[in-house]
Amino acid sequence: MRVCGGLFDLEAKRQRLRELQERLNQPDVWRSTEASRLSREYKEVMELLDEFERLEREVQDIVELSELMGEDESLKHEVDKLVVGETA
């Protein structure tokens, strides 16, 4: 997978999530002023990763349906619905 960096650098996001989790698991963090900021960042990174993983699954579904479509033209409508975001 090609890495674009920044927002799209998923491995860096996963690493940051591990770092935040490690820090949030330390008892002293909850006595500090950074607990709220760390918790908020953890939630934001987790939501971002969840969204990317959901999108990856959708793209994979579309790719698989497209491959099948070559064998079965009746799936073209299903692929078209997925691409434009319609629900079945």
Burial zone of 24 (CB within 10 Å; 0-12 exposed, 13-18 middle, 19+ buried):
middle
Within-domain flag for 1? no
Q: State if pTM tops 0.75.
A: no
Within-domain flag for 32? yes
Within-domain flag for 48? yes
Q: Residue 75 is part of which domain span?
A: 6-84
Q: 9-40: per-residue pLDDT in tens?
A: 889 999 999 999 999 999 999 898 899 999 99
Q: Kindly tell me if the per-residue pLDDT of 43 is higher than 80.
A: yes
Within-domain flag for 69? yes
**Could you give the number of structural domains in the chain?**
1
What is the predicted pLDDT for the residue at 9? 87
Within-domain flag for 59? yes
Six-digit token pair at 60? 């994979």
